[in-house]
Amino acid sequence: MTKVTMTVNGKSASGDVEGRTLLVEFLRENLGLTGTHVGCDTSQCGACVVHVDGEAVKACTMFAVEAQGAEVATIEGQAAPDGTLNTIQQAFQDHHGLQCGFCTPGMVMSAAALLKDNPKPTEAEIRHYLDGNICRCTGYHNIVKAIMAASGQDVSRIAAE
């Protein structure tokens, strides 16, 4: 067992892990942060996307020990301390960008990483960026719409309620 320490959502967190423990397992099992999900075992689905030192990372593809000393952000740290949703989260609710909710944490974290680098992405850029995030419920329409809305673009002409 190795002791690993990192900052998660602004707070110091540490625990004993095996060399093979994945970052997502450390977050879910050691820290009880179960908002980060595991939807596959081939690094395809993106339900486990978190930010490590500001970059979007699939937490199923990184060992916990690799995050030693890193700043990690998860879905649990996205809303304000009083529970107010952030702009992306609010846009997902406003535009019905989620159904079962399982892919949603990864979608929100990926969207945040996209908008940091590209504050006004086109529809095509969003769809391309989400290549590593699979949703089985929404058909992506309202996810793309929500991300465009979160970036301040007018989405009123895109069909549907």
Nearer to another protein, 69 or 82 (CB): 82
**The two structure tokens encoding residue 49:** 């996307």
34 near another protein (CB under 8 A): yes
Distances (CA, A) of 62 to 47, 58, 65, 126, 143: 14, 7, 8, 24, 26
Distances (CA, A) of 88 to 71, 122, 150: 21, 16, 5
Strand partners, 8: 11, 72
144 near another protein (CB under 8 A): yes
CA 156 to chain centre: 26
Interacting span for another protein (CB under 8 A) from 43-51, 63-71, 113-121: 43-51
64 near another protein (CB under 8 A): no
151 near another protein (CB under 8 A): no
22 near another protein (CB under 8 A): no
Nearer to another protein, 33 or 62 (CB): 33
C-alpha–C-alpha distance, residues 80 and 161, integer Å: 27
Q: Which residues bind another protein (CB under 8 A)?
A: 18, 20, 28, 33-42, 44-45, 47, 74-76, 78-79, 83, 85, 89, 92-94, 96, 98-105, 108, 123-124, 126-128, 130-131, 133-145, 158-161
